[in-house]
Amino acid sequence: MALPYLEAVLCFMTLNYIFETYLNIRQHRALKLPTLPKSLAKVISHEKFEQARAYSLDKSNFNFVREAITIVCDIVILYYKVLPWFWTKSGVLVTNVGLNAENEIIHTLAFLAGVMVWSQITDLPFSLYSTFVIEARHGFNKQTFWLFIWDMIKGILLSVVLAPPIVAAIIVIVQNGGPYLAIYLWGFMFALALLMMTIYPIMIAPLFNKFTPLPEGSLREKIEKLADSLKFPLKKLFVVDGSTRSSHSNAYMYGFFKNKRIVLYDTLIQQCSNDNEIVSVLAHELGHWKLNHTAYSFVAVQVLTFMQFGGYTLVRNSKDLFESFGFEDQPVIIGLIIFMHTIIPVQHLLSFCLNLVSRAFEFQADAFAKNLGYAPELRGALVKLQEENLSAMNTDPWYSAYHYSHPPLVERLSALEDLDSKKDN
């Protein structure tokens, strides 16, 4: 008797949607609270609180609608066997244009091209509303409609260039992997991750944003001094024109071994009241590097990836699994898609665990910056970024624990105060 794989997946998808909707309702109620948390009342202005409250509620309402439409579409696609129908139609299309539909790589690329078109069409209304209604209403959107379209076109072209060789390689590996398939798949994805980490900031990111060296001055001197004191091998220091698309702010670093680079959003520089606040944010980021958080996270992801491929090798030849989802044959890409659906419960559990680790890392990086003497500046920067990004001031603890990879501002400020108390004692 065939196992009801499809029914099990649909059941969990529904239960997960109900659970996450419950969390969203809890968070929505928290966002509607008319007063600030006591610990923020003295550092956040009432005007900023009301603006953040309105922005968060708008995003929350939008999320309810988007999630409801998404779950309905996903269930319909799976229950009515749209995927096998589309797989068959893509094979017919390949044949009609004179190509060999028996070639699994060609057939798969045609199938994925159709999926990409469908995804772009269905996601476009949500993206447009989010960008040009919600973000614009609250003063964040800075891009024009044509810049939005141009970015979308560049993203599609990148997919057209990068996806075919990657998909072809995966299919060849699965077809010829034998008993060591999981190792070969993991090795390929590991090499691909390193390659993308190398070329993305150098070749891909500049297609969407302009990166310029941080000008000489006190800010650059302070950042370089901090990097030198920690023996951080800083090679280049950039400012990115994030303000051309949004007034949200950020900072990050990248690079391997002795070739590290730091990128500051121009909005971060504009929003922080002095250089020391910006340096405190980088002290936090450098704390992640010094404490090996990035390395630990990368290793954890690689271990989980290997385990997922190991699980995939156990079911990739399961006829019952494919038939449950409406497929008569067993294409590689379809096997991967089906497998990812069947392990959704595990993925959610792992995501929750990774969030817990990430939050612990954030507290440790804050403590690292404080130990460097940047506690007052970091507090000021965290408050300023919370205000300028109109981040949620009131958060539900269940929602936060499940969704947030970074602790809420209340918890971060409290942790910094606790560190002060321990130091005084």
Residues of each annotated binding site for Zn(2+): 284, 288, 362
Q: Please report how many Cα atoms fall inside a 13 Å half-sphere around the Cα of residue 204, on the Cβ side.
A: 14
Determine the residue type at 322.
Answer: F
Is 285 among the catalytic positions?
A: yes
Dist CA 22 CA 38 (whole Å)? 26
Beta bridge partners of 236: 261
| Contact of 276 with 268, CB cutoff 8 Å | no
State the residue for tokens 């309905």. Answer: 72
**Amino acid sitting at position 13:** M
DSSP helix/strand/coil, 45: coil
C-alpha to C-alpha distances, 408 to 17, 27, 37, 254, nearest whole angstrom: 24, 13, 11, 25
Amino acid at the residue 167: V
- Rounded distance, CA 234 to CA 356, Å? 30
Taking the CA of residue 398 as centre, how many other CA atoms within 13 Å lie in the half-sphere pointing to its CB?
A: 12
Phi/psi for 237 (5° steps) reads: -130, 115
Q: What's the CA gap between 397 and 311, in Å, rounded? A: 33
Phi-psi category of 292—alpha, beta or left, where left has phi over 0 and alpha has psi -120 to 50?
left
The CA distance from 136 to 131, in Å, is 6
Q: Considering 366, 387, 396, 411, which one is annotated as catalytic?
A: 366
Residue 366: active-site member: yes
Catalytic residue among 285, 377, 396, 411: 285
Binding site per annotation, positions: 284, 288, 362
User: Which residues, 6+ apart, have CB-to-CB distance to 409 below 8 Å?
Assistant: 40, 382, 383, 386, 391, 393
Q: Which residues are catalytic?
A: 285, 366
